[in-house]
Amino acid sequence: MAKDPSPDDRRAFLKKVGTAAAALCAKGAVGETAVPPEASLGAVTDGAKRRSQEAFRIRAEAALRQKLLPRPAHPTNGDEARYPSRIASYTKALPHDDLGEVDPAAYGRFVDALESGEIADLDRVPMGDRAKLADPLCAYAFTLEGTDSHQLSLPAPPAFESAEEASEMAEVYWAAYTRDVAFSTFATDGVMAQAAADLSAFSDFRGPKAGGAVTPATLFRGSTPGDLTGPYLSQLLFRDIPYGPMTLPQRYRVPEAGQDFLTNYPEWLGIQRGVPSYGELKLDPTTRYLRNGRDLSEYVHRDFSYQAFLNGALILLGLGARPDAANPYRTSPTQSGFASFGGPHLLDLVARAANQGLRAAWYQKWIVHRRLRPDAYSGRVHNHLTRNARYPIREELLKSQVLPLLNQKNLGYLLPMAYPEGCPTHPAYPAGHATIAGACVTILKAWFDESFVLSSPVEAAPDGLSLVPYTGGPLTLGGELNKLASNVSLGRDTAGVHWRTDGTEGMRLGEAVAISLLRDHAATYGEPFDGFSLTRFDGTHITL
């Protein structure tokens, strides 16, 4: 993060802004009606004028702080330029040939339209079937609280030919193949042991490990503090939700077992060309607690943008979880928070951070990276192994133990998708769900005492019909919030629509969004306030 501006910078900036504002006021150019000269204000008190000036100072200093941030670099992995055929770029819904490779001229017009930022140019992009691109112009929306979306940066995602990309593809294949294995039985399931051993053999797999190896206890988990402690799912996905006058149990309609989509080539190709969907997902008539990857995939299929984190906020408020030590009302004998430092304040911040996170993600997706989705990559694997084409795919992926299993089951090497429509119609990197997760969880960690221990922890029985006690060590709120972010993020990987780095980097981007939002808001409170404190996803502790 850049240093705060110096007092001299502030004074010079405020003098310029004040002069400009005064000139506008004198001309009646502020707002829709003329601003009367100060002499005519009459009943306006000195206190009211001081209040107006102080509000202006806070706004101006926040703007200055953002203005003085260094302009970040936006590195890419070079794949778009490296492959004229665009085999490593997001192309869904555009015209494709029979190999699932995009029409180069259509892709060129697509990129030109994205870079122009004009809706008319995007309306003229050649398209395939009926699917529409998901809100590319959101990439140009401004964010005026916290850091603007174009001022936040991400590292380049793994390149198409890299060992890291090969390992991520193997992980997504295994997650899809094992969707029906209950989380509570990972440790004893033979296929999970096979998946762990296979991923351990990859030269650059960066998921969590134990003793240098992937194990059933680390499979498909995140890498933040708390991710490897306790049950696979966060406690905040099991607890009842106090929802105004109602209480909502977290039992959901989940898919019937064994349903996979786009495992035959004509359907896979049709989806790349923009066919909206193939088939229909059949839901179990019995509601269940989330108990396996298929259930979690469907949760993050139908959730609204910040649902898990709104629920988490309501659960924690209902539990009376300890607020952060900086909350000015934590020890007050006569007052409690409400619109500031109370429930309404928290719920507003969670929603606000979610939308700002999406704006940051959409800029990176559409304008910077345009990373292909795993289902598109699996088409390259399939065509390579069936000798219809040759692609620069790592040999360690082509030799993965998961590919013969998929071929035996589906007569091919396409990624079994959890959704009949396949992936969303926007690029992969970073994941929108993960960026929202990072932003919202950062708000919740700033708000509550992360050391608070959640009592009576549980996990879902293998059939999802009941909750059973978890008898391991204590589960802290900070760890379970981190786990909640990872569950939401990795649930999209399990569905087949994202890569691991879409999630890990998306969460970090969301964290940066929320931190900048909290920093700007810290100057607006009437209460004495020393600043929010929280533990970042990398384990470092900060105070804002």
- Of 502, 521, 335, nearest to 443 by C-alpha is 521
pLDDT per position as a tens digit, 220-267: 999 999 999 999 999 999 999 999 999 999 999 999 999 999 999 999
Confidence of residue 40 (pLDDT cuts 50, 70, 90): very low
pLDDT at 273: 98
Q: pLDDT tens for residues 445-504?
A: 999 999 999 999 999 999 999 999 999 999 999 999 999 999 999 999 999 999 999 999
Binned at pLDDT 50, 70 and 90, residue 364 comes out as: very high
The pLDDT-based confidence of 46 (bands split at 50, 70, 90) is confident
Q: Which of 96, 150, 369, 433 is catalytic?
A: 433
For 496, list phi and psi in degrees, rounded to 5: 100, 5
Backbone angles phi, psi at 428, to 5 degrees: -80, -40
pLDDT band at residue 44, thresholds of 50, 70 and 90?
Answer: low
9 confidence band (pLDDT: 50, 70, 90): low
Range of weakest confidence among 6-10, 380-384, 490-494:
6-10
Give the model's pLDDT for residue 45.
Answer: 80
Mean pLDDT along residues 52-71: 92
User: Domain residues of the chain, as ranges?
Assistant: 1-29+51-65, 163-543
Does 96 participate in catalysis according to the annotation?
no
**Direct distance between the N- and C-terminal alpha carbons of the chain, in angstroms, rounded to an integer:** 12
pLDDT of residue 1: 42
CB 226 within 8 A of CB 478: yes
Q: What is the three-state SS of 290-357?
A: CCEHHHHHHHHHHCCCCHHHHHHHHHHHHHCCCECCCCCCCCCCCCCCECCECHHHHHHHHHHHHHHH
Confidence of residue 47 (pLDDT cuts 50, 70, 90): confident
Does 430 sit behind a cis peptide bond, omega within 30 degrees of 0 on the bond before it?
yes
Q: Can you tell me the distance from the alpha carbon of 372 to that of 88, in angstroms, rounded to the nearest whole number?
A: 6
Strand partners, 458: 469
Catalytic site residue from 150, 426, 498, 521: 426
How confident is the model at residue 15, as a pLDDT?
A: 61
Instruction: Using alpha carbons only, give the angle 99, 103, 107 rounded to the nearest 5 degrees.
Output: 130
State pLDDT tens for residues 274-322: 999 999 999 999 999 999 999 999 999 999 999 999 999 999 999 999 9
Q: Which whole number is the average pLDDT over 193-201? A: 98
What is this structure's pTM?
0.93
pLDDT surpasses 80 at 19 = no
On the 0-12 / 13-18 / 19+ scale of CB atoms within 10 A, 390 is: exposed
Average predicted confidence (pLDDT) for the chain: 93
Per-residue pLDDT at 508: 98
433 catalytic residue (yes or no): yes
Please tell me the least confidently modeled range out of 35-39, 143-147, 406-410. Answer: 35-39
Q: Give the pLDDT band (50/70/90) at residue 10.
A: low
pLDDT at 31 > cutoff 60: no
pLDDT on residue 24: 45
149-160 pLDDT, tens per residue? 999 999 999 999
Quick one: average pLDDT of 385-414? 98
Q: Which of 248, 307, 313, 259 lies closest to 281, judged by CA?
A: 259
Give me the percent of the chain exceeding a pLDDT of 70. 92
DSSP state of 364: I
CA 430-3-514 angle, 5° bins: 35
- pLDDT surpassing 90 at residue 28: no
Task: Find tokens 């088939």 and name the residue.
Answer: 279
Task: Choose which CATH entry (1.25.40.10, 1.10.606.10, 3.40.1190.20, 2.60.40.10) describes domain 163-543.
Answer: 1.10.606.10
Residues 6+ apart with CB under 8 A from 163: 202, 203, 204, 394, 396
Q: What is the pLDDT of residue 16?
A: 64
What is d(CA 260, CA 375) in angstroms, rounded to the nearest whole number?
Answer: 12
pLDDT band at 26 (very low <50, low <70, confident <90, very high): very low
